[in-house]
Amino acid sequence: MKFKCRLRIIFAEREIKQKDFAKRVDLSQSTLSTLINNAKLPTFPTAYKIAKELNLYIEDIWIEEDSN
């Protein structure tokens, strides 16, 4: 199963700076960048913290990609 991270789009729509958001959710900027660039999936607690801060569901941020 592959997932696509929508954080870059969400941040642009809401005019959120990556550096500021990383501080709000207590992550390093590099960790957040890794998630945004789809290099890694977050742990459940991290995904939950990010979703809660954005007032979204986890599945609104990480979308399952078609395997076709």
The one-character DSSP state at 28 is -
Map out the domains of the chain as residue ranges.
Answer: 17-64
pLDDT at 68: 61
pLDDT at 1: 80
**Who's near 16: CB < 8 A, 6+ residues apart?**
10
Residues in the chain where the model's pLDDT stays below 50: none
